């Protein structure tokens, strides 16, 4: 990602100005769709640090910490948006409360798109998706031992309970 920004940002500006001649600045946002400042793996910060070594400086440490700007033209800004900040940014930057509705809209659109893709998929793909769904459900399926009859708790091993759960799930599965 760092290399892509370093190698391409001048070209991105030229291309943008061709379409929108009045544009004087371009923002490059490192967007993380989930998490918070304290829960990221900091890869986005590593990108920013590498940019500092390759033609970028911090724009204004006091008022805009973490926002970088290119040294040469001061027209390319690079910064990060994480989780709710990201969703608000792509939906309605001036209204951070919009994050949840933007996220919901994107999820609904993805659900529709994925459903369309599945409807058009071949039989083998649809079967494999059902098998993956069943496998994921089985992996989460748990019988609380204390909720089972005593004779099952005493006589069945964990492995036997697993196969019992598998059979039960197969019986109630809606099929393909």
Per-residue pLDDT of 100-109, as tens digits, reads 888 888 877 8
Residue 39 pLDDT exceeds 50: yes
137 vs 142, 153, 169, CA distance in Å?
Answer: 10, 22, 9
Query: Per-residue pLDDT tens for 128-173?
Result: 888 888 777 767 766 676 777 787 778 877 777 777 776 666 555 5
Please report how many Cα atoms fall inside a 13 Å half-sphere around the Cα of residue 82, on the Cβ side: 12
Same-domain pairing of 60 and 130: no
Same domain, 129 and 74: no
Q: Please say which residue of 82, 113, 134 terminates a domain.
A: 82
Helix (H, G, I), strand (E, B) or coil at 69: strand
Would residue 93 count as lying in a domain?
A: no
| pLDDT above 60 (res 126) | yes
How does pLDDT run across 43-83, given as a tens digit for each residue? Answer: 888 899 999 999 999 998 888 888 999 999 999 999 998 88
Domains: count for the chain: 2
Q: Is residue 116 part of a domain?
A: no
Query: Does 130 reside within a domain?
Result: yes
Partnered with residue 32 across adjacent β-strands are 82
Question: Whole-angstrom Cα distance, residue 176 to residue 168?
Answer: 17
On the 0-12 / 13-18 / 19+ scale of CB atoms within 10 A, 138 is middle
């Amino acid at each position: 990602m760092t290399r892509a920004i370093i190698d391409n940002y001048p070209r991105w500006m030229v291309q943008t100005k061709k379409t929108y001649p009045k544009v004087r600045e371009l923002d490059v946002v490192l967007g993380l769709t989930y998490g918070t400042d304290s829960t990221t793996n900091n890869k986005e910060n590593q990108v920013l640090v590498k940019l500092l070594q390759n033609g970028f400086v911090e724009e204004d440490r006091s008022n805009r910490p973490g926002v970088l700007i290119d040294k040469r033209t001061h027209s390319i800004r690079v910064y990060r948006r994480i989780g709710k900040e990201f969703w608000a940014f792509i939906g309605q930057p001036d209204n951070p409360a919009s994050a949840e509705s933007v996220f919901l809209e994107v999820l609904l659109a993805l659900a529709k798109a994925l459903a369309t893709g599945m409807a058009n998929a071949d039989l083998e793909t649809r079967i494999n998706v059902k098998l993956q769904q069943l496998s994921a459900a089985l992996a989460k399926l748990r019988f609380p031992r204390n909720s089972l009859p005593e004779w099952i708790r005493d006589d069945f091993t964990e492995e036997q309970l697993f196969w019992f759960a598998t059979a039960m799930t197969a019986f109630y599965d809606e099929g393909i």
